[in-house]
Amino acid sequence: MKCILYLPYRLEAQGWGARMLRPRKMAEAFRENGYEVMMISGVSSERRIMIREVRKRIRDGEKFDFLYAESNTEPTLLTDPGHLPTHPFLDYGFFRFVKGHGIPLGLFYSDLFWKYEGYGAGLPAWKRTAALACYRYDLRQYEKLLDRFFVPDKETFSRVLGSPRLAEICRELPPGADHPDLSARRAPGDPNRPLTIFYVGGLGGNYQIEELLRAVGTVEGTRLILCCRQAEWEKEKDKLEPLLCDRIRVVHKSSGELEPLYAEADLGSLMFRRGSYMDMAKPFKTYEYLAHELPVLATEGTAAGRFTEENGTGWAVAYNAETLAETLREILRNPAQIAEKRRHCAEAKTRNLWTCRAETAAEELKAAR
């Protein structure tokens, strides 16, 4: 079995963040599921060379079961350094070639932030207009060429896009989770230790976490480990530092240094102020918390909150300090809930491994032949 994994940008071997981690995990999962993976990625000049090779192989009779692609956060035409369409017909020309040879195409589209008010606020008007035109061009090509349109949250994407064709082929994929070593994690509900919440991720923009800090500050017996990039902390410090207390620890660790922090934690946090972006997007840490069988506090009404409620993997709570504080007090009064939620996490993880995500994508694309 063979497949093509297509990215309109360069995949850094050591890069982190969802845009880098998710395709690497998918490539590994496809291979684990028995597929030989032909990777096409890089800037457009690099992709052109790879495309030329794959075109020849297909013309010579080599068979591929499907093409799975992931979009960039930028429009496909503008992904090169300089953000100019240096090879405007390259990507979709190749998609048309692949489709013409009977190979089903699917693409994962991670978010629709450009659809909402506020996009491009710091850009000159002409750049914003050009970028929006390129995003819309992507959608028109998807309507024509894709067999499956994979998204984090089908309901929201179908409603916001307003495209009957994309709604018809829209599918959700399992989030994707690993199998980390959990032997060092603390026992749940230890009365001799504070209830420890772990937040790892971005700050600012869509990642507003002030109510989480306020709630922890008011509930004795809790503590928070806040892990973020140094640069983001410096940018948000003036706003967040007044909300800190001696039970909130700020650390700056990268992905390879997080295991001891996961082992300390009782709960993960996906508590963000609600907005159009969070209502449709599942932050990448949703997957990592699940992999560590870590119950989460998630904002009610967001995509992460809906996933939490549907799978029983934590608590979906309104984003305000008072409600969140009461939830924390209830957990402290009844810590056995944590063990129960962990069991639900373990069960959900078996349905949401990276291999499950890759297999679902493969099955959907084969069914679309």
Residue 212, pLDDT score: 97
pLDDT at 16 over 70: no
- What CATH code would you report for 2-174+354-367? 3.40.50.2000
Residues 99 and 105 sit within 8 Å (Cβ to Cβ): yes
- Does 15 score more than 80 pLDDT? no
Give 304-362 pLDDT, tens digit per residue.
999 999 999 999 999 999 999 999 999 999 999 999 999 999 999 998 899 999 999 99
Instruction: Please report, for the chain, the start and end positions of each structural domain, with discontinuous segments joined by +.
Output: 2-174+354-367, 195-351
- Domain 195-351 has what CATH class? alpha beta
User: Tens of pLDDT along 351-365?
Assistant: 889 999 999 999 999
Whether residue 120 has pLDDT greater than 80? no
Q: For the residues of 163-195, what is the DSSP string, one character each?
A: -HHHHHHEEE----------TTPPPTT-TTS-E
Model pTM score: 0.83
How many CB atoms are closer than 10 A to CB 17? 13
**Sheet with 222-227: strands ordered across:** 248-251, 222-227, 195-200, 267-270, 296-299, 314-317
Q: How many CA atoms lie within 13 A of 313 on its CB side?
A: 30
Q: Do 2-174+354-367 and 195-351 agree at the fold level?
A: yes
Residue 286: which pLDDT band, with cuts at 50, 70 and 90? confident
